[in-house]
Amino acid sequence: MSLPDKAFPVSWDQFHRDARALAWRLAGLKRDFKAIVCITRGGLVPAAIISRELNIRLIETVCVASYHDYVNQGEMMLLKGIAPELTADEGEAVLVIDDLTDTGKTASEVRSILPKAHFACVYAKPQGVPTIDTFVTEVSQDTWIYFPWDMGFTYQEPISKTGRG
């Protein structure tokens, strides 16, 4: 598998706006979340923003690796589980945060541990949408999202390389 042809680069400013938009949607649910479980590594940044916006101070991580080379999704590897006090009631009142749901495999893995948790992502692809509860922006399955923490300052090729007119 190689990188998809469609690119969706996201700046720090845009990501911050989108994460705050997710916080607004979550606030509208009128639920009292007692904790956030962020799926590392992608969930770390949105979890920080959402924890501030929703005033949730208990933040836990679950460490799952699926992209071992940044391109090809491989076997799910649970590197670190979730604290027992958050799994005791199957994740009731727990908010699970990630940056993206792609195929839904990671969310499904975590949902098997926290079946009653509320799952939220900033971005979602169609295959992953059924595995989460709330998201902000949907992108096509054949789009690669370039997150700000994966990019440097470099020239970006235009979408169309042919002149029109």
Residues 6+ apart with CB under 8 A from 18: 10, 122, 123, 136, 137
The answer to the question of whether 162 is labelled as a binding residue is: no
5 as an active site residue: the answer is no
The set of long-range contacts for 152-160, using a CB threshold of 8 Å and a minimum separation of 24, is 156/9
The answer to the question of whether 5 is labelled as a binding residue is: no
The answer to the question of whether 105 is labelled as a binding residue is: yes
Pairing of strands 73-80, 59-67: antiparallel
Annotated active-site residue in 5, 32, 99, 142: 99
Residue 119 CA from chain centroid, whole number: 9
The answer to the question of whether 131 is labelled as a binding residue is: no
| φ, ψ dihedrals at 110, nearest 5° | -70, -35
- Two tokens, residue 66: 């699926």
The answer to the question of whether 144 is labelled as a binding residue is: yes
The answer to the question of whether 100 is labelled as a binding residue is: yes
The answer to the question of whether 104 is labelled as a binding residue is: yes
Listing DSSP states for 11-33 in one string gives -HHHHHHHHHHHHHHHHTTT---
Annotated active-site residue in 98, 133, 142, 150: 98
Annotated active-site residue in 13, 69, 89, 102: 102
133 as an active site residue: the answer is no
The answer to the question of whether 42 is labelled as a binding residue is: yes
The answer to the question of whether 24 is labelled as a binding residue is: no
142 as an active site residue: the answer is no
Binding positions for guanine are 102, 145
Which positions are catalytic? 98-99, 102
Binding positions for 5-phospho-alpha-D-ribose 1-diphosphate are 41-42, 98-106
Binding positions for GMP are 102-106, 144-145
Binding positions for Mg(2+) are 99
